[in-house]
Amino acid sequence: MSLVTIVMGSRSDLASLQGAFDTLKQFGVPFRARILSAHRTPDEAADLAKNAAAEGTKVFICAAGMAAHLAGVIAAHTTLPVIGIPMASAPFNGLDSLLAMVQMPPGIPVATVTAGSAGGKNAALLAVEMLALSDAALAAKLKDFRKAQADKVLADDAALQAEVQQ
């Protein structure tokens, strides 16, 4: 059973999603990944969205470039949360994808994170936060992750202070 379903519009999005895969694995969250297109495989994308809840999915992560309608198509066919990752692509370097995702019509929301590979990691973390609402063990892992991030910044700051004071 996959709690998170990651859908990318094309194989070229795969490298940008590695951070999502790694983050979900780090937290022990089972996921599956698919390549489907809002425009080239609309029936398959709709079927995935319609059947995902029955198959155990709790959250979708969708990555797409250019017109970036994949997240919206998935959101239109499910009541599960959908997180969109705009992919950078020519000629607008991801701005077109971002605008397509953040301008969803009222009633069909898509949460949107930053573009590219940082977006993959952030989308996975947002999915973990959503899942942690009903999973105390996952919430504890998330709390530990946040503390480790803060500890690293403070250690880096202490090292910088030591360097600058010499």
Residues 26 and 98 in one domain: yes
Which pLDDT value is given to residue 96? 87
Please state, in angstroms and rounded to a whole number, the distance separating the CA atoms of residues 31 and 79. Answer: 18
CA–chain centroid gap for 109, Å, is: 14
Give the closest residue to 110 by CA, choosing from 75, 66, 73: 75
Residues 61 and 88 in one domain: yes
pLDDT tens column, 18-45: 999 999 999 999 999 999 999 999 999 9
Q: Where are the beta strands (DSSP E) in 15-98?
A: 31-35, 59-65, 82-87
Q: Where are the alpha helices (DSSP H) in 53-115?
A: 70-76, 95-102
Based on the domain organization, do 28 and 76 belong to the same domain?
A: yes
Residues 112 and 141 in one domain: no
* Residues 120 and 46 placed together within one structural domain of the fold: yes
Average confidence (pLDDT) over 72-76: 96
Q: Is the domain of 160 the same as that of 107?
A: no
Q: Do 84 and 150 fall within a single domain? A: no
Range of the domain at 31: 4-134
Report the domain count for the chain: 2
3-18 pLDDT, tens digit each: 999 999 999 999 999 9
Length in residues, the chain: 166
pLDDT of residue 159: 96
| Mean pLDDT confidence for 97-118 | 91
pLDDT score of 49: 98
Residues 102 and 23 in one domain: yes
pLDDT, tens digit (0-9, with 9 covering 90-100), for 63-72: 998 877 899 9
Q: Which amino acid is at 119?
A: G
| 60 CB-near residues (< 8 Å, 6+ apart) | 4, 5, 6, 7, 49, 52, 71, 74, 75, 78, 80, 81, 82, 83
143 in the same domain as 130 = no
- To the question of pTM greater than 0.85 for the whole model, the response is yes
Query: What does the pLDDT read at residue 68?
Result: 74
* Same-domain check for residues 34 and 115: yes
For the chain, report the end-to-end CA distance as a whole number of angstroms. 55
